[in-house]
A and B are shown apart, each in its own frame.
Chain A
Amino acid sequence: MLLGPSLAVSAVLFVIGAAGVLLRRNAIVIFMCVELMLNAVNLTFVAFAQQLGTNGQIFVFFVMAVAAAEAAVGLAIILAVYRHKETVDLQHINLLKG
C-alpha cells in the first residue's frame, strides 16, 4: 500500500543526494551526500520487502555494514589527503591530472 509513495520519496532523496554530489566542493560533504543516496536505496529495499519478503531487509542490513566500513576507510583517506594538501576542496585535489 505504501509502495508507490515510498518509491517516490526514495527517488527524490536519491536525486537530492546526486545533486549534492554535483553541487558541493568539500570532500566530506560529498561523502555525506553519498550516504544520503545509500539511504534512499535502503528505503527502496525496505519498501519492496514489505511486498516480497524479508530478503529486502536483510540486504539493507548488509548495506549498512558496508556503508560503515566504507565511511571509515573513506574518512581515513580524506584525512591523509588533508595532511598532504592542507585542504579538502576538490578543485585543489587534482593529483589525478595527466
Chain B
Amino acid sequence: MDLVWLVPALPLLGFVLNGTLALVRPQAKSAVSAIGVGVLVAAFGVGVLVVRALALAHPEGPVVFHYWDWIPVGSLQVGYALQVDPLSAVMVLIVTGVGALIHVFSVGYMREDTGYARYFAYLNLFVFFMLLLVLGANFPVTFVGWEGVGLCSYLLIGFWFSEKVNADAGMKAFVMNRIGDCGFLVAMFLIWQYTGSLDYEEVFAKAPAVLPVGGAAVTAITLFLFLGCTGKSAQIPLYTWLPDAMVGPTPVSALIHAATMVTAGVFLVARSNVLFALAPAAQVVVAGVGALTALFAATIALKQWDIKRVLAYSTVSQLGYMFLGVGTGAMAAGIFHLATHAFFKALLFLGSGAVIHAMHKAYHATHAHEDAQDMRNMGGLRRFLPWTATLMWIATLAIAGIPPLSGFFSKDEILAAAFARGALQPAWYLFWGLGLAAAALTAFYMTRMMLYTFHGPSRTGAHEQVHLREAPWVMTGPLVVLGLLAAVGGAINLPTLVGGSAWLHHWLEPVTAAGAALAPAPELAHATEWLLIGVAVAIGAGGIAAALRLLDPSALVPAAQARPETGFAKVLWKKWYVDELYDAVIVRPVLWVSRTLLWRVVDVGVVDGAGVNGAAVVSRTLGWLGSRLQTGELGFYVVVFVVGVIAVLSRALR
C-alpha cells in the first residue's frame, strides 16, 4: 500500500512529459500516445496492487500516508496526505480503469487533431487531480483536486478554443463550478471552526460529539458542502454548464462529464456520511434536489436533437439518482450507481463518439457542412456501425433498469432505500415517486435516441452513406470492455434478496458504518422489495415499449429542413428557458454592476479620478499655492514672519 503515491504521480508525470512534447514537438503522436495511455494503465496497475493490499490487510480505519506538512499554522495543521480506505479504493479503480479505456479510445478519436499532445497532457492532468480528490486524507487536499478537475474541465471543454462558442462553454463551466466551490470553502471553514481539524479521520470521529444532531451548525456545514456538489455534479441550480460542455471532444465528455468529475460530488457526500447522518434536514434537501433534478433533466432530454445533449441531460438525471441514494443515507447504493453509471454512460458517450466520428468522416469526404451530431441527420446507422449499435443497446437497457444488467441493480437499490425511508417521513414517498417517473422518462428518451440514430430509414445523404463505416478497433475495443462491464457489473453488489452477497455494501462498511449507526435505515419486508422490483422493471419496460410504439423515425426530416418546435415541445427543447432566466436575473445584473457601477463609477471615477488624478491635482495646487508665496517682496515676507511669531508664541503660551 505504500505505493499509493504512485497512483496520482504517474498521470502527473504523463502531464509533464506530454505537456513538454506539446510545446516542443507536437507532431510526435506516437510518443504522446504511448506516454498518455501508458501512465494510465500503469496507474491502474498500481491501483489494483494497492487495493489488493488493502483487502488483505483489513484495517479498522483508513490508512493515512502523510507526506509533508503543507499548512502548519498554529492550531491549523494541514498536511499533504493520501488515504487508502474502501471508498477511495473503489474510486481509484473506477477513475484509472475507465480512464485508461477512454485514453485508448482517444488515440483513435483524436488522431487527426493538431492539438493531440495538448489533449493528452490535459487529460493526464485531469486524472492526476481526480485521483488527488479521491485519495485525499483531508478536506484541503480533496479541495485541491476539486479545483484542479474544474480547471481541467475548463481547459478540455474549450479545447477547440478558436471558436467562441467553445471558449464560452468552458468559461460557463468554470464560473458555475466556482460558485459551488465557495460553498465548499465555507463548509471547510465551519468544519474547522467546530472540530478544530480538517483531517477526515479526526473530523468524523469528533463530529458526533461537538455537533448536535439536527443542529444549525451541522446543517449549515452539510448544506454548504452540498452547494459545492451541485456545482461540481450539475444539480439544480448549477447544472446548466453540463449540456453546454458537450462542445468539447467526446472522450472528454465521457471521462469528465459522465464517469469521474461529475461524480466527485457524490463521492464527497459519501465521504462525509457522518456529517450528513447528523443533519436530517440536509439529507432531505440532498435527496429532494437529486430526485427533482432527475425528473427535470429527463423531461428536457425528451426533446433534444443533439445526440450528446441527450446524453448530457441523461447524466444530470442519473446524478440526481445518485444524490437521491446518498441523501437517503444509503451510501453504498449511491456509490454502486456511480460505478455502474460510469460503465454504461462512458459506453454511451464513447459510442456516440464513434457515431460522430463516422458522420464527420462521411461529411468530410463529401465536403458537406451538416451537423454531424444531430439525430435528424442520422438514422439506420446499425447497418453501418453494427458493433457500436449493439453495445449501445446494452448500455441503453442498463440505464433503463432492465434486469439482469448492472443499471437495474443499482437503480433499484436506490429506489428501495427511498421507499423504505418513507416509513419514517412521508416526504420520501414523494422522492420515490419522482425517481420512478424519471425512470420511465429515462427509458423513453434513451429508446428514442437509439431509434432515431440506429433504426429506421437513413437520413444521411446518399453520397455520405458510402463513407460510413465502423470505427477502428482502437476505438471499438474499449467499447466492448465497457459493454461487458455494463452488462455484468451488477455482480459487485447483488442484493441479498436474490441470494447475492451485497459485496460492495460490505466492502464499504468501514467507511459508511459510522454514518449508518447515527441514522439507521429502516428495513423493508421481502415482499415489499419484490413488489418494488416489479414496479421498477415494469416502468422501465413500459418506457421502452411506449417509445417504440409512439415514435416514428420515418417521420423525421434531416436537420437542415426540420421545422422548429412549437408549444410545449418548444419549452422542453429550450430547456424550460432556465438559461435565459439565469441570464436575465443573474448574468445581466452582474455585468451591469461590473461595467456601470464598478468600472465607470468606482474604477474610472473614484480610483482613477479622485485617487490618481486627484492626487496629482492636489499636488499641483499645493505647488501653485507655494509659488504664490514667493513674491520676492520683503514686506510680504515680514508679514508672514510676524504671523509665524504669533503662532509660535501662542503655542508656547499654552
Contacts and interface: CB of A to CB of B under 8 A. Distances in A.
21 contacts: A18-B642, A21-B638, A21-B642, A22-B635, A22-B639, A22-B642, A25-B635, A27-B634, A30-B638, A90-B633, A90-B634, A90-B635, A91-B633, A93-B634, A94-B631, A94-B633, A96-B632, A96-B634, A97-B631, A97-B633, A98-B630
A25 B634 CA distance: 9
Given A22-B642, A96-B630, 16 more contacts: A18-B642, A21-B638, A21-B642, A22-B635, A22-B639, A25-B635, A27-B634, A30-B638, A90-B634, A91-B633, A91-B635, A94-B631, A97-B630, A97-B632, A97-B633, A98-B632
Interface string B618-654: 0000000000001111110011001000000000000
Interface in A44-98: 90-91, 93-98
B653 to A, nearest CB: 13
A41 to B, nearest CB: 13
Contacts, number: 29
Contacts of A21: 638, 642
Interface in A1-60: 18, 21-22, 25, 27, 30
A91 B633 CA distance: 6
A68 to B, nearest CB: 23
Contacts of B635: 22, 25, 90-91
B559 to A, nearest CB: 83
Contacts of B634: 27, 90, 93, 96
Interface of B (DSSP majority class): helix
A21 to B, nearest CB: 6
A34 B633 CA distance: 18
A98 B633 CA distance: 11
Interface of A: 18, 21-22, 25, 27, 30, 90-91, 93-98
A21 B640 CA distance: 12
Nearest to A98: B630
A14 to B, nearest CB: 11
A27 B631 CA distance: 17
Contacts of B632: 94-98
A36 to B, nearest CB: 14
B635 to A, nearest CB: 5
Contacts of B639: 22
B642 to A, nearest CB: 6
Contacts of A22: 635, 638-639, 642
Contacts of B642: 18, 21-22
Max chain A Cβ within 10 angstroms of own Cβ: one of B633, B635, B639, B642:
B635
Q: Which of B631, B632, B634 has the most CB of A within 10 A?
A: B634
Nearest to B645: A18
Contacts of A90: 633-635
A25 B630 CA distance: 18
Interface string B238-255: 000000000000000000
A57 B646 CA distance: 27
A27 B635 CA distance: 10
A42 to B, nearest CB: 19
Nearest to B635: A90
Nearest to A95: B632
A25 B639 CA distance: 12
A4 B638 CA distance: 29
A50 B634 CA distance: 38
A18 B641 CA distance: 11
Nearest to A96: B632
B643 to A, nearest CB: 10
B231 to A, nearest CB: 68
Nearest to B627: A98
A40 B642 CA distance: 17
Nearest to B639: A22
Nearest to B646: A18
A10 B122 CA distance: 93
A94 B631 CA distance: 7
A17 B630 CA distance: 25
A90 B630 CA distance: 15
Contacts of B638: 21-22, 30
Contacts of B630: 96-98
A30 B635 CA distance: 10
B233 to A, nearest CB: 75
B31 to A, nearest CB: 76
